[in-house]
Structure formats: C-alpha cells, structure tokens
C-alpha cells in the first residue's frame, strides 16, 4: 500500500507546554490532528475550570489550524474538590481529569499523594461522567522503576475500578503486557492510550551502545516482550486502545544533561510514526480505528467528518526543531521517516 486515507485522527494525550512554547507546539499538533487532550502539568498546574479556560485561550491565540480543537484536562491535587469537578463539567471545555501520583513524572509534585485523599472527587467524576486519566506508576523508592506500572495496576488501579464500576478510566501511555492484559480483561469503561515511541522502541534502543536521553520518557521503555504486547494491542482493532502521542518536549539542554528530563517529542511526525508500526505488522487497515475512531467512541464524541491521506514517501527529520526560543531534539532526529501526510 502506498496511500492510505483515514478519518482525521485525534491525539488523546499531548503536552503543549505554555508561554512561548505554544508558538511551535500548537502549529505542530494541529497540522492534521482534529482534537487533542491537552495535559495540564504546567507549573503551576491547570487545577480548575477557570485556569483551563485561560490555558485554552492561550492555545487558541497560538494559531492552531482551523480544524483543531483543544480538549482541556484538570490536574487533580490533594485539594481538588467535588465542586471543582462539577464546575469543570459545566464549563463545556474540560473533557477529563488527570491523576498524577505525586512525584511520578515531569511536573507531578503537586499531584495526589494518596488516592484515598480524592475519594469524593472520584465519586463526583463517576457521577457526572468525567473520565479519569491516569499516569499509572507507583512512586515508592523500593519499587524498581521497570515494575512501577505493573505494581500500580495491582495495588491501586484494580481496587479503584472495582470501587467505581461506572467511572471511565484511561490508563495513559501504557508500557507493559501487564497493562494490555488488565485493560483487555476490564469493563468497557477502561481503555488505554499507546504512544508511537513505546510501539517503535524498547529499552535496548535507549541503553545499548550508549545512553540515548531522547528515548528517556516515563513510564520508561520496557523490554521487547512488552513492546510486542503493545504492538499487538494497538494493531488488534480493539476499541480499548487508541492513539495518545504523549509528545512531551523538553529543551535539548534539559535532556542532554547529567540529570535529563523525561519526555520524547513526536508531534512533528506522530501519525507517520504510527503508520510505520502498523505497516510492519501488515495492519494498516487497523490504523483508522486506533487513530480516529476508538478515541471518540470512548469519550462519547463524534468522529471527525473529514479525512487525511498518508502516502509512502521518505523524508529527513531535522536534527533539532524550534521550541519557543529554545530547540527540541525530535524522535528520529537526523534519520528518515517512511510516511508523509499529503498536503503537509
Ligand atoms: N512522559 C514523560 O516522560 N513526560 C511527560 C509527563 C508524563 O506524561 O508522564 C512530560 O510532561 O514531560
Ligand atoms: Zn505520564
Ligand atoms: Zn504525558
């Protein structure tokens, strides 16, 4: 296949950052994505409907393409109230709330320190039909970083979904076979996003022959058997799995550092990178479900009514890209990508 036309895709997990960064991240993500679930881990975070509305305005002021709508998300803290959830629902611009266990990832220090602290909040989310998006990793220092997702599923997520059977939950950026198996076995209210980089890479790519900081993201890349489970899930056509890039830019100097930040930038070539994965699996016919249909179905939103066309056409990824007044090193920097969106 050398051309593939699909309904306009959406990105159900992206970091656009703020301030001058929006001048580059917003045009990048809106080139062909119709909607994006915009992560709220700013400093300070987006904690209520008013802050979400202000952030929404700043994103719209950065000139996204006309087909693009940002879907805002609240960042849950120990102090979030049930009223915050009701106000967010009433705002009409907040589509989900995000649980960052405190200390789990980039800008998560204001996150929830104990899931029991937000019982009333989660109950209100279940009641009003607000999806809970989860960075699913425990943070205890005695739990190995490669086990943190699996331990989170067993100790936090399973009890949570048992307690709130009507709550919609997205386990974000899954990285393990444990997560795939859990999501598949859970009710229709439980789904997961999968990034392009977790489909394309495993921890060998990050660590063999030298440490490659641009592959470092959280949850960290796992062994290749987990990668294979993610690829099988994404290309299966199951409604429970959908596209979430977790494109998470950091300036080059902050990644290439003695203590480098977690996050990989893929918004320059997201659907193109996913297309490579689906092509390698001989599953290009399943890309539309993953990228354009399953996400809206889960969120109860309409599918976008226009289309994009991908063509087999190799292009060179630059070594760096502008990121506000800084630069970011994108995934595949200095290498090639095999697919291109027509008209781009
Ligand atoms: N994925 C990452 O490694 N980093 C994200 C945060 C997140 O999604 O966990 C970021 O904001 O940089
Ligand atoms: Zn995360
Ligand atoms: Zn993220």
Please tell me if the CB atom of residue 217 comes closer than 6 angstroms to any atom of ligand 1. yes
Confidence at residue 279, expressed as pLDDT on a 0 to 100 scale:
98
In the chain the domains, ranked by start, together with CATH numbers, are 11-303 (3.20.20.140)
Give the pLDDT confidence of 72-111 residue by residue, as tens digits.
999 999 999 999 999 999 999 999 999 999 999 999 999 9
Confidence at residue 34, expressed as pLDDT on a 0 to 100 scale:
98
Residue closest via CA to ligand 1's atom 6 equals 106
Integer angstrom CA distances of residue 289 from 39, 109, 194? 23, 35, 13
CA 218 to ligand 1: nearest atom: 3
Confidence at residue 1, expressed as pLDDT on a 0 to 100 scale:
83
Q: Is the peptide bond before 112 cis (omega within 30 degrees of 0)?
A: no
In degrees, rounded to 5, the angle at the alpha carbon of residue 217 between the alpha carbons of residues 215 and 223 is: 70
Q: Phi/psi class of residue 263: alpha, beta or left (left: φ > 0; alpha: ψ in -120 to 50)?
A: left
Is residue 194 within 8 A of residue 243, CB to CB? The reply is yes
Give the pLDDT confidence of 40-54 residue by residue, as tens digits.
999 999 999 999 999
Active site residue 246: yes
Q: How far apart are CA 307 and CA 309, in angstroms?
A: 7
Flag whether pLDDT at 322 surpasses 90: yes
Q: Tell me the whole-structure pTM to 2 decimals.
A: 0.98
- Which pair of structure tokens corresponds to residue 118? 């937000």
Q: How many CB atoms lie within 10 A of CB 343?
A: 9
Distance 82 CA to ligand 3 centre (A): 24
Is residue 133 within 8 A of residue 98, CB to CB? The reply is yes
Flag whether pLDDT at 117 surpasses 80: yes
pLDDT category of residue 305 using cuts at 50, 70 and 90? very high
pLDDT category of residue 342 using cuts at 50, 70 and 90? very high
| Percentage with pLDDT > 70 across the chain | 100
Mean pLDDT, rounded, for 313-324: 97
Name residues whose C-beta falls within 8 Å of residue 300's C-beta, 6 or more positions apart in sequence.
Answer: 129
Give the pLDDT confidence of 64-74 residue by residue, as tens digits.
999 999 999 99
- Which of 144, 246, 306, 316 is flagged as catalytic? 246
Please tell me if the CB atom of residue 15 comes closer than 6 angstroms to any atom of ligand 1. yes
Is 254 labelled a binding residue?
no
Flag whether pLDDT at 344 surpasses 90: no
Confidence at residue 234, expressed as pLDDT on a 0 to 100 scale:
99
Residues less than 5 Å from ion ligand 3, measured at CB: 246
Please tell me if the CB atom of residue 13 comes closer than 6 angstroms to any atom of ligand 1. no
pLDDT category of residue 304 using cuts at 50, 70 and 90? very high
Flag whether pLDDT at 246 surpasses 90: yes
Going by C-alpha positions, the residue among 107, 124, 30, 21 that lies closest to residue 69 is 30
Flag whether pLDDT at 336 surpasses 80: yes
Beta-sheet strands, E only, within 218-316? 241-243, 307-316
* Average pLDDT taken over every residue of the chain: 98
| Percentage with pLDDT > 90 across the chain | 99
Q: Terminus-to-terminus CA distance in the chain, angstroms?
A: 19
Mean pLDDT, rounded, for 217-238: 98
Confidence at residue 182, expressed as pLDDT on a 0 to 100 scale:
98
């Amino acid at each position: 296949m050398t051309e593939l036309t699909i309904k306009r895709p959406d990105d159900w997990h992206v970091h656009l950052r703020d301030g001058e960064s929006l001048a580059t991240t917003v045009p990048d993500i809106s080139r062909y994505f119709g909607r994006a679930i915009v992560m709220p881990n700013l400093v300070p975070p987006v904690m209520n409907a008013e802050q979400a509305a202000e952030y929404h305005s700043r994103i719209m002021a950065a000139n996204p393409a006309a087909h693009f709508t940002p879907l805002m998300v609240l960042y849950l803290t120990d102090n979030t109230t049930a009223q915050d959830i009701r106000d967010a629902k009433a705002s009409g611009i907040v589509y989900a709330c995000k649980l960052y266990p405190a200390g789990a990832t980039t800008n998560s220090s204001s996150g929830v320190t104990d899931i029991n602290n937000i019982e009333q909040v989660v109950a209100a989310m279940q009641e009003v039909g607000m999806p809970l998006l989860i960075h699913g990793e425990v943070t205890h220092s005695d739990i190995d970083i490669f086990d943190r997702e699996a331990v989170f599923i067993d100790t936090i997520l399973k009890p949570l979904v048992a307690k709130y059977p009507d709550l919609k939950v997205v386990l974000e950026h899954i990285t393990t076979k444990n997560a795939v198996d859990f999501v598949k076995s859970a009710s229709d209210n439980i789904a997961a996003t999968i990034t392009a980089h977790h489909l394309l890479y495993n921890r060998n790519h990050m660590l063999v022959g030298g440490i490659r900081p641009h592959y470092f993201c959280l949850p960290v890349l796992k062994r290749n058997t987990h990668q294979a489970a993610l690829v099988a899930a994404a290309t299966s056509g199951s409604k429970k799995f959908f596209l979430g890039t977790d494109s998470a830019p950091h300036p080059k100097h902050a990644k290439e550092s003695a203590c480098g930040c977690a996050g990989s930038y893929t918004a320059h070539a997201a659907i193109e990178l996913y297309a490579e994965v689906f092509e390698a699996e001989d599953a290009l016919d399943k890309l539309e479900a993953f990228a354009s249909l399953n996400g809206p179905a889960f969120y109860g939103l309409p599918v976008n009514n226009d289309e994009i066309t991908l063509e087999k056409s190799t292009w060179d990824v630059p070594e760096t890209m502008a990121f506000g007044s800084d630069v970011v090193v994108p995934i595949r920097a200095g290498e090639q990508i095999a697919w291109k969106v027509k008209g781009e």
